[in-house]
Structures are given as C-alpha cells and as structure tokens.
Amino acid sequence: MKIICLMENTTCYDDIKAQHGLSFYIEWNQRKLLFDTGASDLFLNNVKQRNVDLNTVDTVILSHGHYDHSGGLQAFLERNNHATLYIREKALEPHFHVHDQKISYIGVPKDVIQELKKPLRVPQLHFTKESEMIEEGCVLFSNVTENQFYSKGNDGLAMQEGITYVTDDFSHEQNLILNEDGKWILISGCSHSGVVNIIEKCKTLIGKEPDILIGGFHFAKPEKDGSIDTEFATKIGTQLQTYHTKYYTCHCTRVEYYQYLKQQMGEQIEYIGAGDELEWQKDEFCKK
C-alpha cells in the first residue's frame, strides 16, 4: 500500500506546488484510488513530479462538496473517462460560507457539476449510501450525527434550502476505511463532522478505533496575531490520545494547531504535506 499526497496547503519540495486544498493518490489491493482532487488543476504538476498515471485510476472518492477538494476534478476527467466516482448526492448541491452578510459560494465548481451531469458522465457517478462497501476491506461511511467537540471552524458554513441559508449538516461528507494486513486506515477530508465523532462512528463499523487516521481536523483560522484556541486544541488532543491511533494530519488542521498538538501528542501525530509519500512497511506507514 502506498499513499501520495498530491495536493495540500504546504510543501517542502522545490518541484512540488502547494495550494489550499487536498488530494491523495492511493495504491491498495491492486486498486488505484484518487481521494479528492484539490482546488484546481495545479495538482497535475505534482502528479507528474511523483510519476502518477491518472489514466490508471479506477476509483475516485470525493470526501465532500467543497471546491478545495473537487476543483481539480475537471482536469482529472479530461485524462480519465472510466474511473467510478463515489460521491454523496448532496455533495453536488450548493454550499456556502456566510459571514457579515457576505455570501460566498464554496461548493463543487459549477462547471464540474455540469460536466458530471452530461449523459456520457452519468454512468461513472455512484451516489453512496450511509455505509457502503466498495470491496472487502474498503468501506465508505457518512451520516456522522454525534456532535462532540464542535469546531468553530464550521461557523458560517451553510447550505441552501429554497431561498434561505441554513447551517450545513455535512450530510455530504464521507470517509474512507481501508484494511491492510489486518490494520485499519481511516482517511478523512476535512472532518467537518468532527474528528472524534468520525472515529467513534468508525468504531461502530469495524469494532475498534482505526490504527491510522489520515486527514484534516478543521480547526478555526488562527487570529490575526497568530494566536489559536489552545483550550479547544488541548481537549481534542487529549481525546485523540485515548485512541490507539497514529495520526497523519494536514490541510484544515492548520500548521499552528499541528505544532501545538505535536507538543502534546509527540510521535502519535505527524504532518503530511504536498509531495509526501507514505509507504506501508511491517504493519505501519513509513514517511518518505
């Protein structure tokens, strides 16, 4: 098993581009999966630099209906016309950020939605259920309804009902579980539903916490002076430490919060940026 981070907010490589967004390329059990596509076609640079052949991808998973995870989908579709896209149906509905009476569209780009609705694309679309097995050891799940440790990073995120805007319930969000050598790997996008709540839902499906979690935790933006909500971060970190899970975090966790959590959690947590590779060796990932 191998995972390459094709796009993330940060990078430490000169030949790799970084942009606010997320995309993972995953090789697992003879499948080649793309989990999210970043915010634009910029991820194509990193595809080339990491020698990834998008035409061989057979499975695409969209974690949720926000532009920074779906903006590169059009570029992918121009290079691959056969992969199945697993997506929550509500991910194609409009999503917004509402702040100080300013309404910003943050959903899947409208040109991408138009492309997916074309007759030639419809056979590739698979609208996922609350829990769905793609194959043995590969499961998608959504409908995380618990609300422990609500993140203020979700404030202002909305969906449209008629002519009004209501608080997003993130029913368009889904998560991936993979089994490798008896170990469970949980991959999330932004964890809008709450990383703790997602882990708890995962436990109901596999009977234990995941051995590894890869994804963002969606903390609120740091203040203008760079300060963060250390009280909330400490509560999250304390709870995450109760699980026998190794965390590779990124994107909406934000570097400032990661650095704070690293002091608390030590080797239990690492950051993964654009261009980083995780290779499965002896029941764990080794970061290249």
Q: Could you read off the pLDDT of 20-57 as tens digits, one per residue?
A: 999 999 999 999 999 999 999 999 999 999 999 999 99
pLDDT tens digits, one per residue of 206-233: 999 999 999 999 999 999 999 999 999 9
pLDDT of residue 126: 96
Q: What is the DSSP letter of 69?
A: H
pLDDT of residue 122: 82
Mean model confidence pLDDT for the chain: 96
Q: Is the entire prediction scored with pTM above 0.95? A: yes
At residue 267 the predicted structure's pLDDT band, cuts being 50, 70 and 90, is very high
Q: Using DSSP bridges, classify how beta strands 125-127 and 138-142 pair: parallel, antiparallel or unpaired.
A: unpaired
Instruction: State the Cα–Cα distance between residues 97 and 107, nearest whole angstrom.
Output: 9
Domains (range + CATH), the chain = 2-287 (3.60.15.10)
At residue 163 the predicted structure's pLDDT band, cuts being 50, 70 and 90, is confident
Report whether pLDDT(162) > 90: no
pLDDT of residue 120: 85
Spell out the alpha helix ranges (H) of 117-206.
195-206
pLDDT of residue 28: 98
pLDDT of residue 121: 85
pLDDT of residue 279: 97
Other C-beta atoms within 10 Å of 100: how many? 5
| Beta-ladder partners of 260 | none
pLDDT of residue 190: 96
pLDDT tens digits, one per residue of 104-114: 999 999 999 99
CA dihedral in degrees (200, 201, 203, 207; nearest 10)? 150
Both tokens of 39, joined, read 């915010």
Q: Residue 52 contacts by C-beta under 8 Å, 6 or more apart in sequence?
A: 4, 6, 25
Both tokens of 106, joined, read 């943050």
Please give the C-alpha separations between residue 278 and each of 27, 175, 274, in angstroms, as whole numbers: 11, 19, 12
